[in-house]
Every structure is written in C-alpha cells, then in structure tokens.
A and B are shown apart, each in its own frame.
Chain A
Amino acid sequence: MNDLNPVASMSSSTRSFTKVCEILDRYHRDPSRLIPILQAVQDEYRYLPPEVMSFVATSLRVPPARVYGVATFYSHFALLPKGKYVVRLCNGTACHVKRSIPILEAVQRRLGVSDARPTTRDFLFTVETVSCLGACGLAPVMLVNDQVHGQVTPESAVAIIEEILRKEAA
C-alpha cells in the first residue's frame, strides 16, 4: 500500500511524530480537545494514519478505541489517504432536485472511480458527495478542494476535471 501511496512516502520522514507532538502541545494534551487535534493531524497528513492515531491516544492517555471511535464517527476524518484534488459533489436538497447525481456519475465515469473506490490509483483525485455546502442558490454545486463551482452540468464538471488533468500533465 505504502509504495503506491505518494502521501505516505512523502510524509515518511515526518513520521518521527515531531509534528504530532507540536499539535498535541498546542492543545495542552487535553483529551477533550481530541477533535481539533485530529483535525490538525489530518491537515498535516491528509488522512489519519493508524500509527498516528495510536500515538495520539497514548499521548492523551485515553484508549486507542476512543480515538478510533471518534475518527470513524465524523465524516470529515479519513482513514485512507485522499487524492491531491478532492472533488465534492453537493447532494443537498437543492442540488439534488436540480439533478446533482448525473453530474456525480459523469465525474466518476471520467475518472474511473466509484462510491466504493472513491480515489484514483494515482492519488490525484478523490470523488465524494457532501450533504450540503450551503451554497444552495448556485445549485448544483461542485467543490474542488476549496474552489466552489456553481450551476455545474455533467459536461462542465468533466471539463473542470479535464482542465486539472491538463495542468497536472504539463
């Protein structure tokens, strides 16, 4: 898995936990700050590697099951590495009635991913849905990392993906 995973190999040098220690200290190693700690860890690694979760648990003196429990409860936490570009299709009510699903299907088809395997093999893209981005006035909405695209169609969504692929190939 690791040799396939540019994220893990990229961060292997930082796996000495110095970054994690900095994060833990920032929150005074307070177990009640577990969620912001995991958020900061995820910002660093782009997902929550198992050994880091164990390290956090030990440092906070809580059972690893509690850390794992929190990590699996909240949808923001990822236990598997995500792609460089996270494409989020909004499937809130407004986007849904304005047909967001055909857009999702078009993007998934273009990238060869599915709900079960949301990340491309080269870890360039992860495609997922979110329940509402609160930009309902622009429905349907697609988010690529932090960039919001409003009133997208299956064609324009695929065009956005193509544009990124071109940029990455260059």
Chain B
Amino acid sequence: MNALIPVESGPDLAAISERWERASRAHAHRVVICAGTGCVANGALDVHAAFVQELERRGLGARVSVDWEEESEGPGGTLVSHSGCQGFCQMGPLVTVLPAGILYTHVKRGDVAEIVERTLLAGEVVDRLVYADSETGRGCCTHKEIPFYSRQHRFVLADCGLIDPEDLGEYVARGGYEAARRAYREMSAKDVCDWVSRAGLRGRGGGGFPTGRKWDLARQQPGAEKFVICNGDEGDPGAFMDRSVMEGNPHAVIEGMMIAARAIRAEEGWVYVRMEYPLAVRRVRKAVQDAEKAGILGADVFGSGAGFRVNVMEGAGAFVCGEETALIASIEGKRGMPSPKPPFPAQRGLWGKPTVINNVETLATVPLILRMGAEDFRTMGTPTSPGTKTFALTGHVAHTGLIEVPFGTTLRHIVYDVGGGVTDDEGRPDPAGFKAVQIGGPSGGCLTPECLDLPLDFDSLKGVGAMVGSGGLVVMNQQTCMVSIARFFMQFTQNESCGKCVLCREGTRQMLSLLDDIIEGRADAGTLTLLETLAKAVQKGSLCGLGKTAPNPVLSTLRHFRSEYEEHVLHKRCPAGRCKALRPPEILASKCKGCGLCKKGCPVGAIRGERKEVHVIDAALCTRCGACAKACKLGAVVGVGQ
C-alpha cells in the first residue's frame, strides 16, 4: 500500500487504477446488488448474503470486494458487490449480472440459486425475472433495452448504481480523482473558477446561482482561512437525489469538494448530511477515511503544498438548515437560524471566514466538467442551463425512482416516456389521469397539462411560477385534491419555520388555518382574497428562502386550480372527494330499508332509489343541507349534520 504514495506528487492514481483492474480481472463474473435505501428495504442485503452462501455452497468462491490493496493476484470467484441506488426503486431489489449486463428485478432470496445455476454457470437468462416493458410486454434483459433507462441521460448518475461506493479503487479506476489532481497540479485557483464559469454550471440546490461566480467571489476574498461546505441537508419532502449520489458515489462528492477547495484555496471542508440518511452518512464517512488513507486528502494534496481535510457532520432534523446561512449556524453549534445576506457566505461564512456552499449534485458534477471540458459540457442542456439534472420522480406514476435528463427536456418526456405514464390510486395505468406535477417541493409550484411541452430549465420554470428546487417531481392524478396538497406544504413550512421572522412564523400559521377553513367547510367569499394578500405579505416579509417561497404552493394552486378552491368555498364540495368534512352524506346499505323518507325530504332531489331498495345520494347534486339525515328514522344517513 505504501508504495502507492510517492511523497512529492501524492498518490499514484495510475498505479491504484492498474492494481484495481488487475485484481478485478480475476473475477469472471460480477453480481451487482443495488443497496440503495429502497432496495435494502425490499430485502437486498438478504439477497446479497444468499448469493455469497450459494456460491460458496457450490464451491465457486465469492468475494464481496475487489482485493486491489493486496500484492497477490486476486483469488478469483464471483464478485458479489453492493452498489448505490440504481433509481428504478419500484422494481427492487435489483440485481445486475456482469459482464453480460443482465438486469433482474424483484429478486428474492429464493431466486438466487436459479440465477447462479442458469445465468452464472450456463449463461442463460432467467426470463421470469427480467423487466417486462409495460408498453410492449417484451422482456428487457439489459439496462439499454428498458425504456426507463434508455430514455434518460445518466451523466452525474452514470456510475451510481454500478460501482461499489465503498471501494476507492474502483472510483479511481474509472478516472476518479484525476480531475482533482489536475486542478491541484496544473491549474491555478483562477483557472478552476474560469473553467467552471465557462461551463455555465448553475447550483443544483434550488436557486440556480452560477457556481463559477460564487467560487470567484470567495477566491477574491482576503484571508488565509476559507471553507468549503457540501450541503447534503436535502430536506424537501419528495426529493432524494442527493441521498442517492452520496450513497452511490460518495467519492465524486469529495472530489468536487477538493476542486472547490482548490478554486478558493480552502484547506478545510464540511459535509453536512441530513440525519434521516444514515446510510449516506456512513458511506461519506468511509469515503473520507479511505481518501485520507490513500493520501488523497491530507496535509499536502497531490504534492501541491496545500492541504485539505474533510469533516462530516450529521444534521439534527431542521429543514431550514438547507438554507446556507442557517446551515453555517448549525455547524457552529447554534440554532439553525438564517442571517441576512449580504454578506454572502462567500464573503463571510463559517466562523466569519469566506465559505463556499454547494449542493451535493453540483459538486458531483464538477469533476465531470473538468474531465470532459467546459465546451463539451455545454453541449448538454439549454444555453442558459447547461448540463443534466437529476429528478426524483414519485407519486402517481408507473415508474417511480431517480432519473436524470438534460435540461430542456419536456415534462411529457419525463412523465410518459421515462416514468411510464400516470396511474390511478391503485397503481393501474390511467392514460387520461394527469392532473399536475408538483415541482420544487414546499418552495415550488404546480405544472399543469399546459406545461407538458415546456422545456424544463431554471428560467422557463420561473416563468410559469415554479422552480427547479432540488428536483422533486411529484405526479398527481385526477383524484388528488389540490387544496389538500397546498395545505400539506403549508403545514410543512409552518412546522419548519425557524420563528425568526414574524410574517413567516405567524403568517404561515394563519395561512394554514385559512386553508383548514376551506377544507373543513368554514370558508366564505373573503377567504381566498385574504389568503392571497397574506401569501404576498409572507413573501415580502421573510428573510430567507424558506419564508420567501413558502406561499408558492398556495399561489401556484390558486393560479391553476382556482375553480377547485371556489368549489370548496362556495359550494362546500371537494371535486376530488378527498376532503372528509366536505364529503356528501352517505346512506348505509346495511341500515337503509328503502322507506323513501330521505328522498322526500331532500330539497334538491339528490336522492334516488326505488321503494324497499337501498337509496343513494348523488354527490354532484347534494348541497349537504342535512335534511336527509333528519328525515331518516333508522340512522342510515351518515356524514352530515352530526
């Protein structure tokens, strides 16, 4: 091992790479088991253990990692490795057999013996375990044949789900840390900033601020002590892109941080990870330790004379800490409350020193830009938003999971071509079911069917009152009540408001109670106007992004689904039938004797039914006056007047 660390120029990446290649060649087959949070929940670790047992039982030999650190030739046998999230979460546990590249879905412990027997030994495909294309019904053996994958452009996620995230050697063998080495050995701080600026990289965490400009600002600040922070506090409900990158390719994040550190001459970095992501915390910690052990991180990075150390800190459950100034306060051991900007963190950040904060995905993109060149990077995406974006595609869509597409891709492509279309509540395909997509979480807005052909990028989304945010895409079908969705986000931001600004703290509470009035049937004609006025006040009167954007889901649903709100307010009816308090009364079949008293009592003729047969209430006509419940002597009418 020590021979791999020549003192003057840092570790010999080529030697690590060559060793890893040599050791991995000893394995004729490799079984990659997705060990992302989703697959683990479905029993992936059990499947992994079953492979090792089965291979050993047959005397075929199994290794769980590539032994590149040993001097001797690899011991052979099948390599059974873990990977990070492969994105196709609904189909998990996912098992890929290499070199053939066959992807098996929904693999259970009981399937393992058959895969070993037929695929590893006989070279056949186990047909019942391959993915069947929902459009054609055809079996798809490899990633390339599966529309979910073939219609994406996996760039930042290219290695996620393939490489072993806990193996530094494999990352290096795939060209890892070479960009960091070049940045430290061959480029000046200004060169690095220019390179990233030329590529047009914009922050993937929400706002889309140009990364190169942020770095350049921090670079130009006086003072020797500066910091780089990786913001892994991905709090948006419905988003898990950063989790997947940290779990699937943690070294890419560290390499990105090293390049950022080079750009501003920082010697210390922090990775702040959400506590709800224990696996991500563990993998990032291990990656930092391995990089230190290999001499990549340390007092003298690649012989440049500059050092770089990385600390990992676990958050403690506060959404507002995703805001950069609040995150800094949290690292300093304080309540995570934002502070006014300027000064920007790039001027005065952690411990009052110039600090660059970037999101996980942004940092993971940086090494790729250095590897491929700024001009090539610009060929992906749109002129103002180059590159790709990962999205967490969830909700009422056939293929939920983690996807990556170039900026400028249309929503239609994402929902229908990649996601396989909209589903109903039971998960069955529902081609006409599209109602809206919620993008950008609690700060974002809704995209309606009119937006299906809008090329998505930072600027086009702003134009329609939404934002990329961190990239959660929640597809909603016709059975979803948009008022309830707005209330859901309002409750979230109200809960997470740190309390510093009055309008955020109290305004969100009042907005929430107005939404409750609407949902529970207490609203009147003035409620919507009041809600809008208050929403605008909260936007204006809040310091940080949380408060400024908290009213967005309400304003956006009001803009696109105003009639739905009005239905709730004026007619006390929830068109989706979701709001319990507004649900029309129901006649219990078990109690109704068909006497007809309710029918007679109904002033709007909303009740139908033959004598001596169970009567039903027509929800479209019912005004919820309660006359039927009063008229019924058997207590068969429920849901009104109690």
Contact A132 B276 (CB under 8 A): yes
Which residue of A39, A76, A139 contacts B394 across the interface (Cβ within 8 Å)?
Answer: A139
A165 CB within 8 Å of chain B: no
Q: When chains A and B are docked, how far (Å) is the Cα of A96 from the Cα of B76? A: 48
Are A36 and B392 CB-contacts (below 8 A) given A74-B318, A93-B441, A137-B89? no
Chain B: minimal CB distance from A60 (Å): 9
A95 to chain B, nearest CB (A): 8
Given that A34-B333, A93-B438, A93-B441 are contacting pairs, would A137 and B400 also be in contact in the complex, using a CB cutoff of 8 Å?
A: yes
Q: Is A150 an interface residue (CB 8 A)?
A: yes
A94 touches B275 (CB 8 A): no
Number of interface residues of B (CB under 8 A): 56
Say if the beta carbon of B240 comes within 8 Å of chain A. Answer: yes
Whether B238 contacts A94 by the Cβ 8 Å rule is: yes
- For A75, A133, A135, the residue with the greatest tally of chain B CB atoms inside 10 Å of its CB is A135
Q: In the assembly, what is the distance between CA of A32 and CA of B331, in Å? A: 7
A70 at the interface (CB under 8 A from B): yes
A93 to B444 alpha-carbon distance, docked (Å):
12
B401 → A minimal CB distance (Å): 5
Q: Are B318 and A97 in contact (CB under 8 A)?
A: no
A126 CB to closest chain B CB (Å) equals 15
Let me know if B235 and A131 touch, CB within 8 A.
yes
| CB nearest to A66 among chain B residues | B334
Quick one: given A134-B37, A134-B240, are A70 and B332 in contact (CB under 8 Å)?
Answer: no
What residues of chain B lie closer than 8 Å to A135, measured between beta carbons? Answer: 37-38, 41, 89, 240
Which residues from B are CB-within-8-Å of A77? Answer: 316-317
Selected from B37, B335, B394, B489, the residue in CB contact (under 8 A) with A69 is B335
B377 within 8 A of A: no
Closest to A72 in B: B335
B236 and A132 contacting across the interface, CB-CB below 8 Å: yes
B566 on the interface (CB 8 Å rule)? no
| Cα-based distance from A147 to B426 in the complex (angstroms) | 25
Give the chain A neighbours of B332 by CB distance below 8 A.
32
Contact A93 B238 (CB under 8 A): yes
The answer to whether A97 and B474 touch (CB under 8 A), given A132-B235, A137-B38, is: yes
Inter-subunit contact B316/A132 (CB<8 Å) = no
Q: How many residues in A have their beta carbons less than 8 Å from beta carbons of B?
A: 39
When distances are taken between beta carbons in the complex, the residues of chain B under 8 Å from A36 are 313-314
Least Cβ–Cβ distance between A102 and chain B, in angstroms: 11
B316 touches A92 (CB 8 A): no
Are A139 and B237 closer than 8 Å at their CB atoms? no
Instruction: Find the residue from B40, B237, B277 having the highest chain A CB count within 10 A.
Output: B237
CA distance A66 to B329 in the complex (A): 13
Residues of A within 8 A of B259 (CB): none
Query: B485: which A residues are within 8 A, CB to CB?
Result: 97
Q: How far is the CB of A98 from chain B (nearest CB, A)?
A: 7
What residues of chain B have their CB less than 8 Å away from a CB belonging to chain A?
A: 37-38, 40-42, 89-90, 92, 234-240, 243, 274-278, 313-319, 330-336, 392, 394-396, 400-402, 425, 438, 441, 472, 474, 476, 480, 485, 488-489, 492, 495-496, 498
Interface residues of A (CB under 8 A from B): 31-36, 38-39, 66, 69-70, 73-77, 91-94, 96-99, 130-139, 141, 146, 148-150
Given A74-B316, A74-B317, 7 more contacts at CB 8 Å?
Answer: A33-B333, A74-B336, A93-B394, A93-B489, A94-B474, A131-B496, A136-B238
Show 30 A/B contacts (Cβ-Cβ < 8 Å), sorted by A: A32-B332, A38-B316, A39-B316, A73-B335, A74-B336, A75-B317, A76-B275, A76-B316, A76-B317, A93-B438, A94-B238, A94-B394, A94-B400, A97-B474, A97-B476, A98-B396, A131-B237, A131-B496, A133-B37, A134-B274, A135-B37, A136-B89, A136-B392, A136-B394, A137-B38, A137-B400, A137-B401, A139-B395, A148-B41, A150-B41
